[in-house]
């Protein structure tokens, strides 16, 4: 690992990964290698055990009652595609927010072209959503609410529990995009009334890229058409897709090496506890915000409360292009950030940073206070050089 690099791009993908993840992937490649659920030999059985154990650990993390409710996918995007394309039918109305990632908005817009009616509920300039506006948006034909658990632009956490109650009261399906929260923010699908939970493996769960999943509440799978069908290793005597979970949505040989890494990532999260991870990250965010707040020209976006934000901070320096700031941070200070529009155009419109975007710092459990201090000093220099 390059010790001179300060990696603040964990909302895109987390790095570094705990060594256990790399060891688990290497162990699978070197010592196991079999195809899960396909053959009867011991290596295939061992691979299937890894996959099942991953479902169990994910279930533990999100309080899912049955591990077979977890469909393993390539990423959150695929999970959201299954939920959106598989569940919605022409004539349905859906509600979403003005803070969504394109992984929600693009499939919804594609469905709009097929006769789905969409209401986008606006959020305030900090990205905060008032649940009352969800209630106001409900129509006779409303079928579902698609909402991010937290914005990837501002880190603002959405009032998912309140929205869950509203969904229950009105008989709507609640689909939550947990790409930015799984692993770093508490999620309880039962308590929060979540019917569909899409998550990705390579961000705060510390898994490799190419991993993710979708929780589907019991009974709902029958209302969701699979978007990909094929071999599952089960019911091989028939030429139609099995209708049981999770095989209905898992066609083709899975990314077993990735899943082995994801399992180790979730184990890591469970061993530390989400509360401890969140606590550490909150301190880093608070320290960073306190350190840059007064810098000349600094504009910070998002929620003031630490409780209701993930470790994502978007900012700009007045009069400077965010891309130029990010480039300077990389070249002069070894700080990796992301700049521009973060795949969420309406979120940028909400916080008034469209179309230039922001510089985004996103922290992980592995960032340190020293790194925060270095980044504050770097921004001090950059903001001074502006004048």
Ligand X SMILES: Cc1ncc(COP(=O)(O)O)c(C=O)c1O
- Where along the sequence are the contacts to ligand X (CB under 6 A)? 75-77, 101, 103, 148, 152, 177, 179-180, 200, 212, 343
Q: Which is nearer to ligand X, 166 or 205 (CB)?
A: 205
Shortest approach of ligand X to residue 211 CB, angstroms?
A: 9
Number of C-beta neighbours around residue 205 at 10 A: 28
Shortest approach of ligand X to residue 342 CB, angstroms?
A: 7
Shortest approach of ligand X to residue 207 CB, angstroms?
A: 10
Q: Which is nearer to ligand X, 32 or 104 (CB)?
A: 104
Q: Which is nearer to ligand X, 266 or 382 (CB)?
A: 266
Shortest approach of ligand X to residue 100 CB, angstroms?
A: 7
Shortest approach of ligand X to residue 107 CB, angstroms?
A: 11
Shortest approach of ligand X to residue 186 CB, angstroms?
A: 17
Q: Transcribe 329-366 into DSSP letters.
A: HHHHH-EE-EEE--S-HHHHHHTT-TTT-EEEEE--TT
Tokens describing residue 3: 């010790």
Q: Which is nearer to ligand X, 6 or 175 (CB)?
A: 175
Q: Which is nearer to ligand X, 212 or 357 (CB)?
A: 212
Terminus-to-terminus CA distance in the chain, angstroms? 36
Strand partners, 336: 7
Q: Which is nearer to ligand X, 64 or 105 (CB)?
A: 105
Shortest approach of ligand X to residue 164 CB, angstroms?
A: 18
Q: Which is nearer to ligand X, 77 or 97 (CB)?
A: 77
CB 306 within 8 A of CB 300: no
Tokens describing residue 380: 């001090």
Shortest approach of ligand X to residue 83 CB, angstroms?
A: 12
Q: Transcribe 300-322 into DSSP letters.
A: E-S-S-STTB-SEEEEEETTS-H
CB 285 within 8 A of CB 319: no
Of 109, 100, 107, 148, which is closest to residue 343 (Cα–Cα)?
A: 100
E-state strands within 112-211:
117-121, 142-148, 173-177, 196-200
C-alpha 85/C-alpha 73 separation (Å) is 15
Shortest approach of ligand X to residue 233 CB, angstroms?
A: 25
Q: Which is nearer to ligand X, 350 or 383 (CB)?
A: 350
Q: Transcribe 10-23 into DSSP letters.
A: TTTS--SPPHHHHH
Shortest approach of ligand X to residue 94 CB, angstroms?
A: 16
E-state strands within 111-266:
117-121, 142-148, 173-177, 196-200, 212-216
Helix H segments across 150-231? Answer: 160-169
Maximum Cα–Cα distance across the chain: 73
DSSP 8-state class, residue 299: E
**3-state DSSP call for residue 109?**
helix
């Amino acid at each position: 690992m390059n010790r001179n690099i300060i990696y603040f791009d964990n909302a895109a993908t987390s790095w570094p990964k705990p060594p256990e993840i790399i060891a688990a992937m290497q162990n699978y490649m070197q010592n196991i290698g079999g195809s899960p659920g396909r053959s009867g030999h011991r290596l295939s059985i061992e691979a299937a055990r890894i996959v099942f154990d991953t479902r169990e650990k994910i279930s533990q993390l999100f309080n899912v009652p049955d591990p077979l409710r977890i469909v393993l996918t390539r990423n959150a995007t695929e999970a959201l595609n299954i939920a959106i394309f598989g569940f919605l039918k022409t004539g349905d109305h859906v509600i979403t927010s003005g803070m969504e990632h394109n992984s929600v908005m693009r499939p919804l817009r594609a469905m709009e072209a097929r006769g789905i009616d969409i209401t986008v509920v606006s959020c305030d300039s900090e990205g905060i959503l008032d649940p009352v506006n969800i209630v106001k948006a409900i129509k006779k034909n409303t079928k579902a609410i698609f909402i991010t658990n937290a914005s990837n632009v501002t880190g603002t956490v959405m009032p998912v529990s309140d929205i869950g109650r509203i969904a229950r009261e009105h008989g709507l399906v609640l689909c939550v995009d947990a790409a930015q929260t799984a692993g770093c923010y508490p999620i309880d699908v039962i308590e929060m009334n979540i019917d569909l939970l899409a998550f990705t493996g390579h961000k705060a769960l510390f898994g490799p890229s190419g991993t993710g999943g979708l929780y589907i509440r019991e009974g709902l799978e029958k209302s969701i058409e699979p978007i990909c069908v094929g071999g599952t290793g089960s019911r091989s005597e028939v030429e139609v897709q099995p209708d049981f979970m999770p095989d209905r949505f898992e066609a083709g040989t899975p990314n077993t090496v990735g899943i082995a890494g994801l399992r180790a990532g979730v184990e890591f999260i469970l061993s530390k506890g989400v509360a401890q991870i969140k606590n550490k990250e909150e301190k880093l965010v608070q320290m960073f915000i306190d350190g840059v707040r007064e810098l000349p020209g600094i504009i910070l976006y998002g929620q003031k409360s630490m409780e209701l934000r993930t470790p994502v901070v978007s900012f700009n320096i007045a009069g400077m292009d965010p891309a130029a700031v990010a480039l300077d941070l990389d070249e002069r200070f070894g700080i990796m950030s992301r700049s521009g529009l973060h795949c969420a155009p309406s979120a940028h419109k909400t916080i008034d940073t469209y179309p230039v975007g922001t510089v985004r710092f996103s922290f992980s459990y592995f960032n340190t206070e020293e790194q925060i201090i270095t980044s504050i000093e770097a921004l001090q220099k950059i903001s001074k050089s502006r004048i």
